[in-house]
Amino acid sequence: MNVEAWERLHDRTDPSPWLALELDQSTPLAPELKSAWTKDASTRFRQFVLPLLRPFLRIQMGVFQVYRSFVPNAFSSSKVLHRILVFCLRNFVTPEANFMLFRHFHIGSQVLEFLKDNVKGVEVKTNPLYPKSLEEFKEDLFIHHDVNLYNFIIELNIELRKKGLKLEAKSPVDFSAIRVPDTRVGDFKRGFLNVVDLESAIEIYTPVFQFFLTDREFWRSTHSLQFDETIGLYFAKMYGLEGRLVLLNNKHPMVPAITAEAGKRLLLHGVSTESLHGILWSMKNAQS
């Protein structure tokens, strides 16, 4: 959207909070992400339906937690879970939400690749995930996303300890991993039923995750949200970004949230990852 279009949308007697968020430049979020985010967050489904659903979803999670405490591994199936998710994403979720989900997998992989390329004195293997279609999510991509993060943090710190090193950046900085994800809102279906926004989808599908994953898998997935702060601290130490760490905050990494908070924390995780990617993108542009 160009400046003239924004001016036409602006009503000084009744200014839009969503237009203000989209135009605000205090955060390093990509313009295409902010446009999709504000449009998705302003849906009627999120405004009117989600508040009614949320209490029932919380109760459902509580029931599933009790159930899993007795049978932690029974009737679990990551394959079935991912097939259900793909069907729902394709047919019920907004194209803006699907766009942001795809971006998250791409930029999350880019951030870990950037660290791998720029931590001085260590070699760490990564398993980047760059899905090109919803069908690829059937291959347990949500599980692999969390596992990749755990493996990276564990193996990076083992390497640093084995070699007696501190976390330091290489020079010059290698920005080859940081790029604009090759995905657009128009790549995704906008049908009559595609009305569920990203936040609502996360809240609705979190109990589904809980039911189809083992107790250990679900707790591991929930606790992975603590590592936004950890990854942010790595960058702060390497590049002196302490002043911008507030944008990467998803609560303290040593204080795991309860599973009932997983939906909201997952949304914050998306914002944190986008913020870090935006910081790296601005650094890359400044270097070039």
CB 72 within 8 A of CB 210: no
The per-residue pLDDT for range 100-155, each reduced to its tens digit, is 999 999 999 999 999 999 999 999 999 999 999 999 999 999 999 999 999 999 99
pLDDT > 70: percent of the chain: 92
Three-state secondary-structure class, residue 28:
coil
The per-residue pLDDT for range 277-288, each reduced to its tens digit, is 988 898 898 887
Q: Where are the alpha helices (DSSP H) in 119-261?
A: 141-162, 198-212, 215-223, 227-239
Q: Full-prediction pTM beyond 0.85?
A: yes
The per-residue pLDDT for range 55-101, each reduced to its tens digit, is 999 899 999 989 998 999 888 999 999 999 999 999 999 999 999 99
Is the predicted pLDDT of residue 242 greater than 70, yes or no? no
The per-residue pLDDT for range 42-52, each reduced to its tens digit, is 999 999 999 99
CB 176 within 8 A of CB 281: no
Within a 10 A sphere around the Cβ of 274, how many other Cβ atoms? 23
Residues 6+ apart with CB under 8 A from 148: 109, 112, 126, 127, 128, 129
Task: Say what the pLDDT of residue 254 is.
Answer: 43
Rounded average pLDDT over 19-46: 88
Here the tokens at position 67 are 């159930």
Residues 6+ apart with CB under 8 A from 92: 193, 194, 195, 196, 201
Question: Cα separation of 266 and 246, whole Å?
Answer: 17
